[in-house]
A and B are shown apart, each in its own frame.
Chain A
Amino acid sequence: MTSTLPPTAGSPSPAAGPVPAAASVPAVEPIAELIAAGRRFGDVIALDDISIAVAPGSLVGIIGPSGAGKTTAIRLLTGGLRPTGGTVRIMGEDPTHLRAETRERIGFMPQNVSLYDDLTVTENLDFVGSVFGMFLPRRRRRIKAILQWLELEDARSRRAVRLSGGMRRRLQLGCALIHDPQLVFLDEPTGGIDPIVRRAIWTELRRLRDAGRTLIVTTQIVTEAEECDTVALIAQGRLVACAAPEALRREAFGGELLEVETSGMVDAEQLGRLGGIDEVRQVTPRRLVIVARDAASATPAVVSAVEATGVSVTSVQTTRPSFDEVFVRLVERAARGLPGDVGTGDAMRSTPTEPGATAGPQPAVAGSGAVEGIA
């Protein structure tokens, strides 16, 4: 997937770029919003008191393991389910009663493959385009671009039933985007897709975001969180955390990680008393992992302190824990009821307290969950 998918005429200008942090622009109206929303199925709580506000032009990932409640959240947002508690708003409207004009601006890719098996690739795209009110000339142009983008040109005349799993998923993605919607819900778009195409899809999703589209994407591939502007981590129906990926990483470990190897044993407690150091873990006698508020500024002090004890530093490096580790740590913390204030509260209307929230990609979403100690 080397080509890009051009926005159609009348679309928001690509020059608009990512929308600035909603937290710092209180006036921005969320394009999609869950307000203390919950959903029960009998005695089972699928989603519990979740608040997420999505600013226009952002790429938001709803991430969590299978059965966490991601699809329930998407179905609440797309009007497929009615919340049993709280409120859901899409473009200022109740998603169960959207106007036709609003619907034309929304794209949706369900988790289950929703294609017509007996129709060809082109016919599936054509059908969805027609349903969304696209007339023939625009449909033709758009189908051509989509097929090129999704590398489905050679399969254009093949029936959907004869496509591989990955190709079917790509075709579904094409159907969701055929009408160039402003707000797109993608329920696990990369499920069952090989890593190369997966990367290309995320590249394209970011490009669409840059073109002013708002994308809300669920995935159970936790590492894909890094691809998003903002991540809402969901586990067991609860919002564990909601912030920019970097902010989540910092929150999970209490800061940035510095891995130090020395020629001899070092007093970890002594290092822990240094300014800007929150925690020192002695991994092995000659290896330390230090949690620093700012790794770059803490490094010279750490090296000096170690060498002052007569031990030389053989290597120092900043460690970026994988998002798998971040996710596990955040979920464990939530389960233990430890504070995890990343992205909590309604950041659309108040300044976040988490310093990391302003670093890296601008968070365009804010959320709060009723997880004990987090809300």
Chain B
Amino acid sequence: MRLFKRPLRILAVMGKEVVEVLRRPRALVSIVAGPVLILGLFGLGYVGQPPLRAELVIPPGIGLPTDPGGFASIASDRISITGITQDPAQGRDVLRSGAADLLVIVPPDAKDRLAKGEQTVLDVEYDTVSPYRAFVASAAAGAIVAAVNREIIQEAAKEAADRAAAAGQPVAIAPEVVAAPTRADVANLAPSEPDVVAFYGIMVLALIVQHTVITVSSLSMLHDRRRGMLDLFRISPIGSGEILAGKYAAFTLLGTVVALAVLAILVFAFGVPFLGGPGVVLGCLALLVVASIGIGTVVALLSDTDRQAIQVSLLILLASVFFSGLAIDLDQFSAPVRVIGGLLPVTQAGTLLQDLLLRGAATDAWRMTLLAVMAAGLFAVGWLVLRRQMARPA
């Protein structure tokens, strides 16, 4: 009979945790409805980077188009031409008023300088303190300048061709080819081409699961201690391993259900591709949940109050936003920071899930192993700390 008492105790803790969570409507809302709401807002509210608005200053008589339609080749979902003026001062007013993000000034002697074989300098101006917007403006400036160059070369080539034709020496090369001898035919070899919501939504799913599980598991452990339950457990036959096993079982169940619910919304409501095997995806989600429970347990065991635990949980959330690759690509950080980012379960699980769902297989299979090692290591740390706290009285 003694053999069956261990599972009995583990099941008791598990059942208690599940019932407690389900009995708290607010907790239930924050666990299930909260993540769904956040994801919904993200999916419905994300409209992507608005196109960069460029104002052009083109002096008359240099042969370049004088209406925005003439630059249709450079207008895209990333750049829009707001207007073309002839006066640089007027263009700067437009930039300062915020109606344009970028001002490109073509000098009046551009055509003459080209005719003389000299390079023309186009002035590009923008007004922003955001490093990101400055980067985008700078990149867009390159595209606009290339387009303007193309127009100038094409115009000059056309004039040259006309002169040659008049002299009875027709030119075989078309002015468009002279202006742009090559063009790109881009092909993405990835099995799916998700939009921004689909790509980042998966990382947001991992982040939601990690944060929710850390918070709920840490508060559960902390409440046990605050209520004096550890004193009761200490005098009872239940061991620290059984307590942890029960809690892990309960939160793995709850966390995986929440993760699957959010994943279902991603797939069915936002059209995120699901190319990987369901078993591997489930395994990845379960490992993320288990590793997150481990973090929650350690946070609780090292915290004295609910507030402290929640603060630490929020710090982990903040670190996860910055260092998981969600907001900023990990390659943009130094090696030590990349290591720290890599130690967050969300980093490994998010990347794995992106691969599994969007590519159908994990390109870095070692991430799964690392996630499993992290989950096991955190369980061991939590168990040792709890065991120490229970076995060694004050």
Q: Which of B39-47, B229-237, B357-365 contacts A (4 or more CB under 8 A)?
A: B229-237
Q: State which residues 62-117 of A face B: CB under 8 Å.
A: 75, 78-82, 95-98, 100-101, 103-104, 106, 108, 110, 112-116
Closest CB-CB distance, A184 to chain B, in whole Å?
A: 11
Question: Do residues A114 and B227 form an inter-chain contact, with CB atoms below 8 A?
Answer: yes
CA distance A133 to B236 in the complex (A): 9
Given A100-B237, A108-B232, A116-B16, also A130-B393 (CB < 8 A): no
Question: Do residues B237 and A80 form an inter-chain contact, with CB atoms below 8 A?
Answer: no
Question: Do residues A81 and B393 form an inter-chain contact, with CB atoms below 8 A?
Answer: yes
CA distance A281 to B231 in the complex (A): 51
Question: Do residues A114 and B231 form an inter-chain contact, with CB atoms below 8 A?
Answer: yes
Main secondary structure of the interface of B (DSSP, over half): helix
Residue with the highest number of chain A CB atoms closer than 10 Å, among B4, B19, B227, B393: B393
- Choose among B5, B228, B391, B394 the residue that contacts A110 (Cβ–Cβ < 8 A): B228
Q: Does B20 sit at the interface, judged by CB under 8 A?
A: yes
- Choose among A101, A103, A123, A159 the residue that contacts B235 (Cβ–Cβ < 8 A): A103
- Choose among A101, A106, A114 the residue that contacts B229 (Cβ–Cβ < 8 A): A114
User: Nearest residue in B to A114 (C-beta to C-beta)?
Assistant: B228
Question: Do residues B233 and A131 form an inter-chain contact, with CB atoms below 8 A?
Answer: yes
Question: Do residues A104 and B19 form an inter-chain contact, with CB atoms below 8 A?
Answer: no
Question: What's the count of A-B pairs with C-beta under 8 Å?
Answer: 93
How many residues of A are counted as interface, with CB atoms below 8 angstroms from the partner's CB atoms?
35
CA distance A101 to B13 in the complex (A): 20
Question: Do residues B8 and A133 form an inter-chain contact, with CB atoms below 8 A?
Answer: yes
Question: Do residues B234 and A127 form an inter-chain contact, with CB atoms below 8 A?
Answer: no
Question: Do residues B237 and A110 form an inter-chain contact, with CB atoms below 8 A?
Answer: no
How many residues of B are counted as interface, with CB atoms below 8 angstroms from the partner's CB atoms?
31
Q: In the assembled complex, which residues on chain A have CB atoms less than 8 Å from the CB atom of B237?
A: 100-101, 103-104, 131-133
CA distance A119 to B19 in the complex (A): 7
Question: Do residues B9 and A133 form an inter-chain contact, with CB atoms below 8 A?
Answer: yes
Question: Do residues A159 and B23 form an inter-chain contact, with CB atoms below 8 A?
Answer: yes
User: Nearest residue in A to B239 (C-beta to C-beta)?
Assistant: A100
- Choose among A96, A98, A108, A135 the residue that contacts B8 (Cβ–Cβ < 8 A): A135
Closest CB-CB distance, B364 to chain A, in whole Å?
A: 42
Closest CB-CB distance, B341 to chain A, in whole Å?
A: 37
Q: Does B307 sit at the interface, judged by CB under 8 A?
A: no
The chain A residues found within 8 Å of chain B, CB to CB, are: 75, 78-82, 95-98, 100-101, 103-104, 106, 108, 110, 112-116, 118-119, 123, 126-128, 130-133, 135, 159, 185
Beyond known contacts A113-B227, A135-B4: 7 more, CB 8 A cutoff:
A79-B235, A80-B394, A96-B393, A112-B227, A114-B232, A131-B13, A131-B236
